[in-house]
A and B are shown apart, each in its own frame.
Chain A
Amino acid sequence: MPHRRLHPGRPFLVLGLVLGAWLVVPTIVKRFLRISFFELQAPVSLSASYVRDLQDYWSLRTRSTNELIAAGRDLVRLNASYEATLQQSESLRQQVTRLEALLRLPAVGGYRSEVARVARRDFNGWWQRLTVRKGRNYGITVGSPVIFSGGIVGKVAEVNATLSVIDLISSPGVRIAATLDGDTRPLSYQGGENPAFGPAVGIAEYVPTDASASPTSPKRLVTSGLGGVFPPGLTIGEIVRLETSTDGLFKTGEVRLDPRLTELNEVTILVPLSPN
């Protein structure tokens, strides 16, 4: 039987039919397909992440005993300092509780911390994102703040069954109500347009005109707590340059972010105890 020749226009016809069908597919089906795709893809990301961990493990096995001893010593010191900080925090917590009881104030809304390992980094000119290995299975919710030892990492943008996607504070889509360290006047922080492989920066707006900052004498920028998303006092970055806006009412400046943001392996997600 002779081989039947495919008509050259047929693939285009099929493509047109598929596209046409996609247009009339209900939104709920499209949404379901998108979520399914992400959930199906999740094991791949997770597996890759675990493989990287294994790779790191074997690479660490090659270290010399002396290096391990030195690292162990450093770790002990670090643990000791953390222990002291923990005790101090406990003491402060008790004092806060006592004052709340004394002044009959409602308890400050708390957070539950969830440490999560980074599975994937996605940095480009439009957004900077991390994917972490915890999702709905750990009660993580969209909008939860994410921190690390250097301050704010970002906030949770998407939550799936086993993974969560975090928008880094260097993303232009992240905006935070901030204050200068030691000041109470609110200002706005927003992620800047960052290159894929460059130092991350943000933009501070509505800075009071009496503030000043320079690369040699930067000003620490912290969360204000007024926005209701981030707790107060967490480090965002350092303002390294300020210029007066054209209306003379405020200053606008550049915020230098922690360079460790691009190489984080673990982050802490603060899950609000009482959802807004």
Chain B
Amino acid sequence: MPERSQERPGSLVESHKGYDPRLILFYFGVATLLLTLAGGLTYQQLLKTDTYHAKERIQNQRRVLTPGPRGNIYDRNGNLLVGNRPRFAVTLNLDELRPEFRPEFLKIRMAYRKTDDVNLPTSSELEQIARFTVVQRYLDQINRSLGRSEELDGQTLTRHFRQQLLLPYVLVDDLHPEEYARLIEQLPVASPLQVYTSTTRHYPYGSAAAHTLGFVGTVSIEDSLPEGLPGEELKTFAMKGTAGRDGLELRFDDRLQGETGGTIYRVDNAGYRVNPPLHKRLPVQGNNLVTSLDIDLQRAVEASMATLELPGAAVALDIATGEVLVLASKPDFNLSDTAPRISSAKYKEIDEAGGWYNRAVKGTYAPGSTFKIVTAMAGLRDGTIDPEAKVNCQGALKIGRRQFPCHDGHAHGEVNLAEAVEKSCNVYFYEMGVRMGPDAIAAEARRFRFDRPTGIELPFETKGMLVPDPAWKRRITAQKGLPPDQRAIEERWFEGNTANYAIGQGYLLVTPLQMACFTASFARGETETLPTLIHQPDRPRQATSPLGIPPAQYQAILEGMEKCVLTGTAKILSSPTLRIPDLRIAGKTGTAQVSTPKGTINLAWFIGFVPVEKPEIAIAVMIEGDTPGEELGGGRYAGPVAHSIIKAWWDKKKAAAQRTLTVSK
């Protein structure tokens, strides 16, 4: 029973003593509230820790991604074809300038107010002016040190400040080594100004093998991040990376691509970085690529082609393995112009000159008389051609109602197979072609893989090669949707078509690379050669179907090809200036006429291999005339280009033999 309150007379204070059951309710209420608070605290602090931690991370941490350098590309002898070179730049860490921005802002605002200018800039504009002023001061310092007169771009600065505050802002790019040396000594270590090193592609040989090596372009690296790179959920600032755009750079982009590195920083409420970083993973260089190219041969042939100042292509293969030693196309471009990025003016200039077009693998051309080897093979295999049987060449052959001339308009008289190859007698092959028919020629061409891409490791190899036959002509005529009578005329395959086909003209289209593969196959005594641009020192010899002709017949063609170089259409290679002593060369020239909108132009061809007795390299050269009506003989134009490859190869071979001899002594 609670005591009643006792009041002294006249007192204003009421006092209570003892236990009051009504207080239980109060205790209960307080306990409930405390429990609710404790529960809430437990819920927030323990159960929702991960959620808040994640929110805190997203709010307070930023990730900066740095691309890994690409791998190098080498030739078969270990010469660096494509590498990386350092690119030094002076950068300014804008986030470290915050203590300077505010005083500058106040100073500028005060200066404006003193002028009583009614058009006082807004606070945001004043901030921009303050930033610009501070950064300009640092740029002036650099200009004084380097003797340069670089200027600041206000828009770029503002954009960088808003979008990429944590990334270094480039003040001066591409410093010379002397400039970088001066700055690293003169700039304080703790300065917001730093010498930043990035990488860019480096091409020691300039334009050599430009189409084969390809080039790179700038890309975002955020789409191809390595596994396990932390901070996926964080706001990320990424520097630009590179990706292959053409050639081997594109085809082997996955292998060459470096591994992106990342750094996670804590930032304050204004987004400024708080050092040191919480996590750092260094970028890793991509894998290297060893190509089958021989840069000495490549440069030799490109120099030779450059003297002609005509479009063209040249390919050289290792006969045993199919490894590509040379893959050249003119006109070309200087790879150094593409790094770190190509200007639109330069791009347009190369485009207008046709420099982007890789004629060796994308261009399709009539092979001309070089195709006569295929026709000879077809005739020998189906029994139409007897190597010793002679055909009387009187300078032309009438087929139907039309005269088909021999290649130089002169009568060769009685010629057998070897002589026909040596002199490139059209009449012999007209005769044999008509006798064996187009299907036999087409079948032989298909046996040598002229009807499909070679599968070389280059992007955009053409599929436009064509091995025609009567069925093909019917098919394409049907697709035109012509009236029946006109269709009946157009779809007919005439003997004249076969005659043209037999000498590599007409509808037939091949690439220079295909011709090189065919030459290598023929030299090896087989039907297929799969070219590759990747070098493997222990790559086995290719083994495909044999040619399917007796050795004597093979020797007849070989004899014709060797005589072609000694006394025939390619005799320029045996002239005193070009003759290579002690080296037997087998070759075949070709000159094809092609109708273009400008008129008929000539294509000069040469295919061949060396040495005859034990073939090691096969060559195909095509030079494209640029003036309608101009005579472009295969021997005179393509022969010297082929000679440059053979000479370079032979010199290297002799030098290697000499070295071996010296070591063994």
Chain A residues engaging chain B, CB cutoff 8 angstroms: 172-177, 185-186, 188, 190, 206, 224, 226-230, 246-250
0 or 1 for each of B277-289: is its CB under 8 Å from A? (1 = yes): 0000011110000
* Contact (A247, B189) CB under 8 Å given A177-B184, A226-B181, A227-B182: no
Which of B69, B84, B177, B284 is the one whose CB lies under 8 Å from A185? B177
Which of B72, B178, B182, B189 is the one whose CB lies under 8 Å from A190? B189
Contact B285 A226 (CB under 8 A): no
Which residue among A177, A190, A247, A249 has the maximum number of chain B CB atoms within 10 Å of its CB? A247
13 contacts between A and B (CB under 8 A): A174-B189, A176-B185, A186-B178, A188-B184, A190-B189, A228-B185, A228-B186, A229-B185, A229-B186, A246-B284, A248-B72, A249-B197, A250-B86
Contact B186 A247 (CB under 8 A): no
- Is B68 an interface residue, CB under 8 A from the partner? yes
* Contact (A173, B188) CB under 8 Å given A246-B282, A247-B69: yes
Chain A residues whose CB sits within 8 angstroms of the CB of B178 once the complex forms: 186, 226
- A38 to B567, alpha carbons, bound, how many Å? 97
Contact B188 A227 (CB under 8 A): no
0 or 1 for each of B242-277: is its CB under 8 Å from A? (1 = yes): 000000000000000010010000000000000000
Chain B residues whose CB sits within 8 angstroms of the CB of A190 once the complex forms: 189
Contact A206 B86 (CB under 8 A): yes
- A247 to B86, alpha carbons, bound, how many Å? 10
Chain A residues whose CB sits within 8 angstroms of the CB of B282 once the complex forms: 246
> Whole-angstrom distance from the CB of A170 to the nearest CB of chain B?
13
- Is B85 an interface residue, CB under 8 A from the partner? yes
Question: How many cross-chain pairs have Cβ atoms below 8 Å apart between A and B?
Answer: 64
Chain A residues whose CB sits within 8 angstroms of the CB of B68 once the complex forms: 246-247
Interface pairs A-B: 9 shortest CB-CB: A227-B185, A177-B181, A226-B181, A186-B181, A248-B285, A247-B69, A177-B185, A246-B282, A188-B184
Contact B189 A248 (CB under 8 A): no
Contact A249 B86 (CB under 8 A): yes
Contact B69 A186 (CB under 8 A): no
- Is B661 an interface residue, CB under 8 A from the partner? no
Chain B residues whose CB sits within 8 angstroms of the CB of A224 once the complex forms: 181
Which A-chain residue is minimally distant from B177 (CB atoms)?
A186
Give residues 73-112 of B contacting A (CB, 8 Å): 84-86
Give residues 145-180 of B contacting A (CB, 8 Å): 177-178, 180
* Contact (A173, B69) CB under 8 Å given A186-B180, A248-B285, A250-B86: no
Give residues 382-411 of B contacting A (CB, 8 Å): none
Which of B84, B180, B181, B187 is the one whose CB lies under 8 Å from A248? B84
- A192 to B18, alpha carbons, bound, how many Å? 76
Number of interface residues of B (CB under 8 A): 26
- Is B199 an interface residue, CB under 8 A from the partner? yes
- Is B190 an interface residue, CB under 8 A from the partner? yes
- A230 to B85, alpha carbons, bound, how many Å? 27
> Whole-angstrom distance from the CB of A121 to the nearest CB of chain B?
21
Chain A residues whose CB sits within 8 angstroms of the CB of B186 once the complex forms: 227-229
Contact A249 B199 (CB under 8 A): yes
- A175 to B180, alpha carbons, bound, how many Å? 12
Further 17 A-B residue pairs, CB within 8 A, beyond A175-B187, A227-B182, A228-B185: A174-B189, A176-B185, A177-B182, A177-B185, A186-B180, A190-B189, A206-B86, A226-B178, A227-B181, A227-B186, A229-B185, A246-B68, A246-B261, A247-B69, A249-B84, A249-B197, A250-B86
Contact B84 A246 (CB under 8 A): no
Contact B283 A230 (CB under 8 A): no
Contact B182 A226 (CB under 8 A): yes
> Whole-angstrom distance from the CB of B22 to the nearest CB of chain A?
43
> Whole-angstrom distance from the CB of B371 to the nearest CB of chain A?
47
* Contact (A173, B190) CB under 8 Å given A247-B69, A248-B69: yes
Contact A249 B283 (CB under 8 A): no
Which residue among B189, B190, B283 has the maximum number of chain A CB atoms within 10 Å of its CB? B189
Which B-chain residue is minimally distant from A247 (CB atoms)?
B69
Chain B residues whose CB sits within 8 angstroms of the CB of A250 once the complex forms: 86
Chain B residues whose CB sits within 8 angstroms of the CB of A185 once the complex forms: 177
> Whole-angstrom distance from the CB of A10 to the nearest CB of chain B?
35
Contact B184 A175 (CB under 8 A): yes
Contact B189 A173 (CB under 8 A): yes
Contact B182 A228 (CB under 8 A): yes
> Whole-angstrom distance from the CB of A157 to the nearest CB of chain B?
10
Which of B184, B261, B283, B285 is the one whose CB lies under 8 Å from A227? B184
Which residue among B85, B177, B261, B283 has the maximum number of chain A CB atoms within 10 Å of its CB? B177
Give residues 186-232 of B contacting A (CB, 8 Å): 186-190, 197, 199
Which A-chain residue is minimally distant from B180 (CB atoms)?
A186
- A195 to B72, alpha carbons, bound, how many Å? 40
- A188 to B283, alpha carbons, bound, how many Å? 21
Chain B residues whose CB sits within 8 angstroms of the CB of A226 once the complex forms: 178, 181-182, 185
> Whole-angstrom distance from the CB of B288 to the nearest CB of chain A?
9
Contact B197 A206 (CB under 8 A): yes
Give residues 429-477 of B contacting A (CB, 8 Å): none
- A85 to B188, alpha carbons, bound, how many Å? 36
- A226 to B189, alpha carbons, bound, how many Å? 17
Which B-chain residue is minimally distant from A248 (CB atoms)?
B285
Chain A residues whose CB sits within 8 angstroms of the CB of B182 once the complex forms: 177, 226-228
Which of B181, B188, B190, B199 is the one whose CB lies under 8 Å from A247? B199
Chain B residues whose CB sits within 8 angstroms of the CB of A206 once the complex forms: 86, 197
Which residue among B86, B186, B190 has the maximum number of chain A CB atoms within 10 Å of its CB? B186
Contact A249 B85 (CB under 8 A): yes
> Whole-angstrom distance from the CB of A229 to the nearest CB of chain B?
5
- A250 to B180, alpha carbons, bound, how many Å? 15
Chain B residues whose CB sits within 8 angstroms of the CB of A248 once the complex forms: 69, 72, 84, 285
- A86 to B376, alpha carbons, bound, how many Å? 87
Chain A residues whose CB sits within 8 angstroms of the CB of B189 once the complex forms: 172-175, 190
Chain B residues whose CB sits within 8 angstroms of the CB of A172 once the complex forms: 189
- A52 to B283, alpha carbons, bound, how many Å? 53
- A224 to B185, alpha carbons, bound, how many Å? 10
- A228 to B285, alpha carbons, bound, how many Å? 34
Chain A residues whose CB sits within 8 angstroms of the CB of B187 once the complex forms: 175
- A248 to B199, alpha carbons, bound, how many Å? 10
Chain B residues whose CB sits within 8 angstroms of the CB of A229 once the complex forms: 185-186
0 or 1 for each of B59-78: is its CB under 8 Å from A? (1 = yes): 00000000011001000000
- A175 to B182, alpha carbons, bound, how many Å? 11
- A224 to B285, alpha carbons, bound, how many Å? 29
> Whole-angstrom distance from the CB of B199 to the nearest CB of chain A?
6
Chain B residues whose CB sits within 8 angstroms of the CB of A228 once the complex forms: 182, 185-186
> Whole-angstrom distance from the CB of A104 to the nearest CB of chain B?
22
Which B-chain residue is minimally distant from A244 (CB atoms)?
B285
Chain A residues whose CB sits within 8 angstroms of the CB of B285 once the complex forms: 246-248
Chain B residues whose CB sits within 8 angstroms of the CB of A230 once the complex forms: 185
Which A-chain residue is minimally distant from B72 (CB atoms)?
A248
- A206 to B197, alpha carbons, bound, how many Å? 9
- A176 to B69, alpha carbons, bound, how many Å? 27
Contact A175 B283 (CB under 8 A): no
Chain B residues whose CB sits within 8 angstroms of the CB of A176 once the complex forms: 184-185
Chain B residues whose CB sits within 8 angstroms of the CB of A175 once the complex forms: 184-185, 187, 189
- A190 to B181, alpha carbons, bound, how many Å? 13
- A224 to B189, alpha carbons, bound, how many Å? 18
> Whole-angstrom distance from the CB of A92 to the nearest CB of chain B?
25
Which B-chain residue is minimally distant from A245 (CB atoms)?
B282
Which B-chain residue is minimally distant from A227 (CB atoms)?
B185
- A249 to B190, alpha carbons, bound, how many Å? 24
Which residue among B68, B197, B258 has the maximum number of chain A CB atoms within 10 Å of its CB? B197
> Whole-angstrom distance from the CB of B150 to the nearest CB of chain A?
19
